[in-house]
Amino acid sequence: MSEPKKVFLSYAQSDSEFASELADQLAKLGVQPWLDKNELKPGDSWAEQIKAALGSSDAVVVVAGGGKPSANVLVEAGAALSQGIKLIPILIDADAEVGSIFSDRPQVQAVRESKVEQAAKEIAEIVGERQSDGH
């Protein structure tokens, strides 16, 4: 059996609730999500852990809520692009600004928690994890 696909979740603190629910839904679909608040422990080097997690990920999901992406989100997205890692923007607010770094990429549309399960299914399909019901 192959290893589960690993997905790094990049998000602003204001979108942490959505990111947590998305991580839960991805795990249910057989995708291994990396979410900082679940993985980082007191005393860990934030920069080293983020770098290692990005480097071992099959894709980076950028959660874009209202307004412009945070500086950390842009740094994580830039690191993913420089390493050739698939970047998947997910829009969770109608007024989300994804910026030029994401403008040439198809985006998963999800408006807050009402569509988190569908967004997780789309992401799982994009990274190659199929559901057991044949989808």
How much is the pLDDT for 133? Answer: 44
Would residue 40 be called left, alpha or beta, if left means φ above 0 and alpha means ψ between -120 and 50 degrees?
beta
Q: Helix, strand, or coil here: 71?
A: helix
pTM (two decimals): 0.81
pLDDT tens-digit readout, 17-67:
989 999 999 999 999 999 999 998 888 888 899 999 999 999 999 888 877
pLDDT tens-digit readout, 60-115:
998 888 777 788 888 998 898 899 998 888 878 766 665 555 555 555 555 554 58
Alpha-carbon span 118 to 27, nearest angstrom: 13
Q: What is the dihedral of CA 71, 123, 19, 60, to 10 degrees?
A: -30
Range 6-126 classified under CATH 3.20.20.70: no
- DSSP class of 14: G
**17 closest CA partner among 54, 63, 50:** 63
